[in-house]
Amino acid sequence: EVFELEPMIKRDAETEKLPSVVYVMQPQSQMEEMGYNDLAYGWDMNHVVPTVMHPNEILDGAMVSGSFMPVSSKWSTYDFQNCPNIKALYREHGKTINFLGVIMSNLNVALEQKERSALFVAQIAKSLGADGAVVAEEGYGNPDADFIGCYVALEDAGIKTVGITNECTGRDGQSQPLVTLDEKCDAIVSCGNVSELIELPPMETVLGELEALGRDGLSGGWANDEILGPSVRPDGSIIMENNSMFCGDRVCGWSPKTMKEF
């Protein structure tokens, strides 16, 4: 596949008339200890402030996935290099939008770090002349504060924003979907509930150790539940949260899931 994007300030008059859009990516970078976070050109994203990247840099392999869980929210290296959201924006470039490029942000732990990144993103987007933005977060829980903070900062800068994220609404789907919310965040695409229960039949061949589901509290499995029993049953079948499904929520744009009202 070949993707070409002209320099931001040297585009034809017809393209310039279209709404300008940036894609804001928030890769996982919460761990202050090195070796767990996503990498940009081999540099740990925990040490990066938001910056502009050409979308081809991401598709060509500049971003490498880390090992920080939970896994259903993750973007694998393959997801970065084949990101459907980037390709979708490319398809609309010159037709319905002027795709400016990617603002690569991060996810932080401390509140002042979250606020810093949100201000960086909004300032960059405004300076580029963006009319709209699409924000996608890799993770849930603590990162929701980064996601919502960035969304609000963009809206406050006059940039119409759409968010893409999964939810953590509990196994019954009744809990608050994100840790924090704001009335300005009125256009969010849900990629699913990390706590949704999934049952899998026993397999003849198993690569790895099924029992790990019951040992790690972040994996979406459990040693024993009063109602559901153990995640790994004696016959080899499994019951687990969607949280255990590697890259299962597909925030990068692969997901066939949809939201319907009844």
217: pLDDT strictly greater than 80: no
Of the chain, the percentage scoring pLDDT greater than 70 comes to 96
pLDDT in tens, 23-34: 999 999 988 888
Per-residue pLDDT, averaged over 215-231, amounts to 84
Nearest to 70 by CA among 255, 249, 252: 249
CA distance 106 to 203: 38
Nearest to 8 by CA among 83, 80, 102: 102
pLDDT in tens, 130-143: 999 999 999 888 99
pTM of the model: 0.91
Per-residue pLDDT, averaged over 140-150, amounts to 94
Which domains occur in the chain, in start order? 14-196 (3.40.50)
Among the residue ranges 1-10, 41-50, 68-77, the one predicted with the least confidence is: 68-77
SS3 of residue 2 by DSSP: coil
256: pLDDT strictly greater than 70: no
Tell me the average pLDDT of the chain. 92
